[in-house]
Structure 1
Amino acid sequence: MASRVAAPVTTGTRVRRLLVVAYLGLLVVWPVGLVVRRTFEGGGENLTTALSDPVVTSALQLTVVVALWAVAINTVFGIGISLLLVRQEFPGKRVLSALIDLPLSVSPVVVGLALLLAYGGTDGLFGPGLESAGLQVVFATPAIVLATAFITLPLVIREIVPVLTEIGTDQEQAARSLGAGGWQTFRRITLPSIRWALVYGVVLSLARALGEFGAVKIVSGNLIGQTQTATLVVEQKYQDFEQGTAYATSFLLALIAVAALVVVAILRPQENSDGH
């Protein structure tokens, strides 16, 4: 097997690298670093205050619950829609593919307003019927889950679709020819082939769900201790001149998201190096 020869590093390459690093530093690293620095000004007092605040802890718990529900929903439907887009041909396939990317192009505030019009208690299309059945969607946890799931919808799908396209159907057809059923083929052939794309999609969805603000603010009602998520707490605490608590809450959200990404980035090379 021929060895690869690394391309020489030219002055132009160095300049481009420097520009990219500077751009990422100014856009991402520096602002996030400022949040971290403000969080730990004077030691860990801001973090301790935030974690001892029942408003913050309640919001963090709700945020985690909502994020897990949204990720679970999009994992199941993301796999199903990905298989549908890659393995099936049907009228309107391109339209469906375009609609999947809608949450990336539409403002989250618009999403929240649309859900409010659909599931609102008085003016909503389905709201009165749901409330008469004893189900409250808007200004309750279900609406927050719906909004978060809508916003994170494309992330799992757009990770899985290219992998499914690349691996093709040869192994799946071979398994079926040997008598494997649909579920058995998926579990033993398809799922192992897309596992890392699925993991990345799930992690990206989790990170995005933890930080959702616009759509959640519209449909939640921002009720303290009931429907107030962590991002809404950050806004409230900052406006109430409790900046230390706001910084600490933001830091906790960022920490969870970054930790998930780092863990996946560390584990994936180990998986590949084992040859599995």
Structure 2
Amino acid sequence: MVDVATPIKWLLRLVAVGYVFFLVAWPVSFIVVETFADGLTTLTDTLADPAVQAALLLTAEVAFWAVVINLAFGVTISMLLVRYEFPGKRVLSALIDVPLSVSPVVVGLALLLVYNGRTGWFGPTLESLGYQVIFSTPGMIMATCFVALPLVIREVVPVLTEVGDDQEQAARSLGANARQTFLRITLPSIKWAVVYGVVLSLARSLGEFGAVKIVSGNFTGETQTATLIVEQKYQNFDQEAAYATSFLLAAASVLCIVVVSLLRPKEHA
């Protein structure tokens, strides 16, 4: 008797692998091929470009602060959603997913309307105090924080729910304060969820384009991130520099995920 499930299983595997290959692996492989078509020449020439250097440094700065902010608020909001009951809890949980459904361009435009130095709600007041948000690094960090907001939370919340609060209650009954309980009980139990959320947030922050383009002004050497310089180089028919910069961004994101996957204990995989 022929097992009908076996051919169907292999067909489904073939469809899944083919889908990922044609949608992700194949297009990205062309970036790698074009980057190294002339050996390391394209990559080294691109890295020697002052505009590319400034864009990469700014991208790293924006991504770093966005990840730090999302880490702090992500863990805090996760604890709030799992450990406490309060009015509006479901609304807060739904709002966290808004960045996944709203276009980043809309986010950038909303920040522009609120923090514009001339016509924004808070922009004129902040600029009178010496703080410029739009067309500056703070605005770019805010835009990046928004698009990467759910990633830490959606990694931590299921783990917090699964581990429960029995050990935390036991620690408190033995005299541990809130800080000791969090550092010695809660954090170790969710550390890999936090790490993976941070990695996903970092990868998302490095690749942000739409929202950052709106709020940055895209000034070369000042508010131009790596994704923006890719667009500029490509439109200016400097495809080699665009390919090389794209490769650097993709490599950084993939490397982070690979390193975490290798270091992550098997029981937490």
Question: 1:271 and 1:225, CA in 2 relative to 1: closer, same or farther beyond 3 A?
Answer: farther
**Map of 1:98 onto structure 2:** 94
Q: Deviations over 1:192-229 (max 9, x none)?
A: 00000000100000000000000000000001000000
**Map of 1:144 onto structure 2:** 140
**Map of 2:16 onto structure 1:** 20
Select which of 155, 176, 187 maps to 1:159.
155
**Map of 1:237 onto structure 2:** 233
Contact kept in structure 1, 2:47 and 2:53, CA below 8 Å = yes
Ranges in structure 1 where 5+ consecutive residues have no aligned partner: 1-7
Q: Determine helix, strand or coil for the equivalent of 1:219.
A: helix
- Residue type of the alignment partner of 2:156: I
**Deviation of 1:175 (Å):** 0.3
> Structure 2 CA distance, aligned partners of 1:68 and 1:270?
28
1:250 corresponds to 2:250 = no
1:113 corresponds to 2:142 = no
**Deviation of 1:269 (Å):** 2.9
**Deviation of 1:237 (Å):** 0.1
Q: What does 1:1-276 correspond to in 2, within 5 Å?
A: 10-269=6-265
> Structure 2 CA distance, aligned partners of 1:271 and 1:106?
35
User: What is the TM-score normalised by the length of structure 1?
Assistant: 0.94
Q: Deviations over 1:98-152 (max 9, x none)?
A: 0000000000000000000111001110000000001111000000000000100
Contact kept in structure 1, 2:144 and 2:211, CA below 8 Å = yes
- Residue type of the alignment partner of 1:265: S
> Structure 1 CA distance, aligned partners of 2:76 and 2:268?
26
Q: Determine helix, strand or coil for the equivalent of 2:258.
A: helix
Contact kept in structure 1, 2:136 and 2:216, CA below 8 Å = yes
**Deviation of 1:153 (Å):** 0.3
Question: 1:270 and 1:168, CA in 2 relative to 1: closer, same or farther beyond 3 A?
Answer: closer
- Residue type of the alignment partner of 2:66: A
Contact kept in structure 1, 2:192 and 2:268, CA below 8 Å = no
**Deviation of 1:49 (Å):** 1.1
Question: 1:9 and 1:44, CA in 2 relative to 1: closer, same or farther beyond 3 A?
Answer: farther
- Residue type of the alignment partner of 2:166: D
- Residue type of the alignment partner of 2:122: F
Q: Deviations over 1:165-205 (max 9, x none)?
A: 11111000000000000000000000000000000100000
Question: 1:60 and 1:97, CA in 2 relative to 1: closer, same or farther beyond 3 A?
Answer: same
> Structure 2 CA distance, aligned partners of 1:272 and 1:25?
27
**Deviation of 1:15 (Å):** 1.0
Identity of aligned residues (%): 67
For these two proteins, the number of residue pairs brought into alignment is 266
- Residue type of the alignment partner of 2:249: L
Ranges in structure 2 where 5+ consecutive residues have no aligned partner: none
Contact kept in structure 1, 2:70 and 2:145, CA below 8 Å = yes
- Residue type of the alignment partner of 2:107: V
Q: Determine helix, strand or coil for the equivalent of 2:265.
A: helix
> Structure 2 CA distance, aligned partners of 1:12 and 1:172?
47
